[in-house]
Amino acid sequence: MAEENEEEIKLGGDEKSAILLMTLGEQAAAEVLKHLGPKEVHRVGTAMANLDNIPKPAVNAVIREFAVEVGEQTALGVNSDSYIRKVLVDALGEGKASGLVDKILLGRNSKGLEALKWMDARAVADVIRHEHPQIIAIVLSYLEPDHSAAVLSQLPENVRADIVMRIATLEGIQPQALQELDDMLDKQFSTAGGGKSSGIGGLETAANILNFLDSSTEETLMEAVKEQDESLGESIEELMFVFENLKDVDDKGIQTLLREVSGDLLIPALKGADEEMREKFLKNMSKRAAEMLRDDLEVAGPMRISDVEAAQKEILNTARRLADQGDIMLGGGGEEFV
């Protein structure tokens, strides 16, 4: 029993999901994967590809844990909408949960909008580039922030600021209007081969999308937004999470982040950082690793600003992923604490 518990602790959620799917067999696993989104499929698929010599006790532990979880569920599928809404609101609070709940419940029945999630950024941009900027804003609000940022980068530069402002000021969309947009996109794909408004869009959505843009594009966009509406631009900036905000992450969080970040990224990222930021990372490394990194930073020659910013962006993306998983808590950048 002790051996099983020990093996179970070493496995993350993706690995447990991968093991469970591998035990189901090809056909059953395929049926499960059909109900996952593109990011989940990628994560679980990667974990499945990386499985190697998993001990039998670990497999048994995963199956047992799954059986316990399922056994504790009752009335599955009965009034599931209200159940999902209540669970997420209890976990995240009304403010953070409302938009997420709407995306989940609306996305369940959508066809055209969901199809966009599986397309690469250039393809999505080709689909929506001739639509009205308000429609583009709604579509980008519906997608994941990193996907939306990549799509935004593919759109003409002269419309980007307008779209970001529309996202930031979007106060929701009527379900009927969203359904019509979904039907329109679905019809477009097939040709080519009234109540409460839904919580899609807003300042936080705009800030999250901008967080995933490269620094030069982000800066240009923010300048354009501020030229048209300085107050709106400042409100968006307050919610954005930048590399400097990592100073507010606690030591345990930095240690978790360091386990996910390669030294090849740390060197350029910290080369362009101030002394306080460098020390924040160095003090959370082992003595030997910190000494090696100090030496690497000292001997590293001049680096292009674009390389430094790209490395910092990648580390930020990792930090946001860990925060979404609940592994670290990000400070600053509009984060709330209780």
Architecture per CATH, 243-324: Orthogonal Bundle (1.10)
Question: Residue 332 gets which letter from DSSP?
Answer: S
Is 138:181 a contact under the CB 8 Å cutoff?
A: yes
* Spans of all domains in the chain: 2-72, 109-239, 243-324
pLDDT on residue 283: 92
pLDDT on residue 254: 92
CA 315 to chain centre: 13
Domains 109-239 and 243-324 share a fold: yes
Q: What is the spatial distance between Cα 168 and Cα 240, in angstroms, rounded to a whole number?
A: 12
pLDDT on residue 209: 83
- The pLDDT mean for the chain works out to 76
Burial class (CB in 10 A: 0-12, 13-18, 19+), 130: exposed
Is 332:241 a contact under the CB 8 Å cutoff?
A: yes
Architecture per CATH, 109-239: Orthogonal Bundle (1.10)
Confidence of residue 2 (pLDDT cuts 50, 70, 90): very low
pLDDT on residue 191: 56
Confidence of residue 76 (pLDDT cuts 50, 70, 90): very low
Q: DSSP readout, 255-317? A: HHHHHHS-HHHHHHHHHTS-HHHHHHHHTTS-HHHHHHHHHHHHH-----HHHHHHHHHHHHH
